[in-house]
Amino acid sequence: MQNKPLILITNDDSIHAKGLHKLADIMRQFGEVVVIASEQVMSGMSHAVTIKTPLMPRLTREEDGYKEYITNGTPVDNVKLGKHALLERRPDLIVSGINHGSNAAINIIYSGTMAAAIEGAIDDIPSIGFSLDDYNPEADFSHVDPFIETITKKVLKEGLPEGICLNVNIPKKSEKAVKGIKVVRQAKARWEEKFEARTDPFGRNYFWMGGVFVNGDPRTDTDEKALADNYVSVVPIQFDFTANQALRQFKF
């Protein structure tokens, strides 16, 4: 008898996030689900791993076809813990999210949610990161199901090419219906930070990081453009950082 697919879920907004539980609810129709998520918010943790301290996962919920672990690790730690310590077998799929906030364009590099999906790809496990373009902790996820289901079914059935995962961003809920799914490129957009300088009660200077997101990419086939046009964006993602087009430009 064929086992049901084993699906590992994590995120970077912590075990308490609405988006995580929405994703778990959707995934339970597709297989056996194990959630391994951080106790604390891990937004902006990127591909960080914990090497100075031990990891201590706790099984906090177990019912038919569903388990939930809370950890003191990062999203990438959670994937590694799943693969090597907590899961009884290699997962068939890793899904990360649903992130509260866009991971389109350069946001991917800071995102713990997308790092978890990339970590899956490093180990050749089909992996998808899902994000909603809405930072509100109480965001409305009621429109996301058909898009997540379509993409998940296809990946469960066909797999993904070696070394590639998907970065899926879903427009914020609005009165207009989402128009569909577009496969696009990562936009060249970035944050322009502003550091607000303050003085603490002891006279020491400190800074809070803030900033504005600036998209100067004129191309029409980018994730930012798809989201602006009310499409779900899907970017196939790789973890080879080599700028192949520049290899011949350098000689030392």
**Range 132-171, binding a second copy (CB under 8 A):** 150-151, 154, 161, 163-164, 166-167
When asked if residue 45 is in the footprint of a second copy (CB under 8 A), the reply is: yes
Give CA–CA dist 213/202, Å, rounded: 33
Residue 214 binds a second copy, judged by CB under 8 A: no
Among positions 87, 122, 156, 228, the unique one binding a second copy when judged by CB under 8 A: 122
The count of other CB atoms within 10 Å of the CB of residue 213 is 14
**Measuring CA to CA, how many Å separate 41 from each of 33, 45, 63, 99, 219?**
21, 9, 25, 11, 34
Give the nearest distance from C-beta 113 to a second copy in angstroms: 13
Contacts of a second copy in 169-208 (CB under 8 A): 180-181, 183-186, 188, 190, 193-195, 197-198, 200, 204-208
Interaction of residue 213 with a second copy, rule CB under 8 A? no
Q: How many of the chain's residues bind a second copy (CB under 8 A)?
A: 76
117 binds a second copy (CB under 8 A): no
Contact between 103 and 169 under an 8 Å Cβ cutoff? The reply is: yes
Shortest distance in whole angstroms from residue 216 CB to a second copy:
11
What is the C-alpha to C-alpha distance for residues 44 and 115, in angstroms, rounded to an integer?
A: 10
Per CB under 8 A, which of residues 1..40 are in contact with a second copy?
none
Pairing of β 6-10 and β 93-100: parallel
Tell me the C-alpha distance between 237 and 191, whole Å: 20
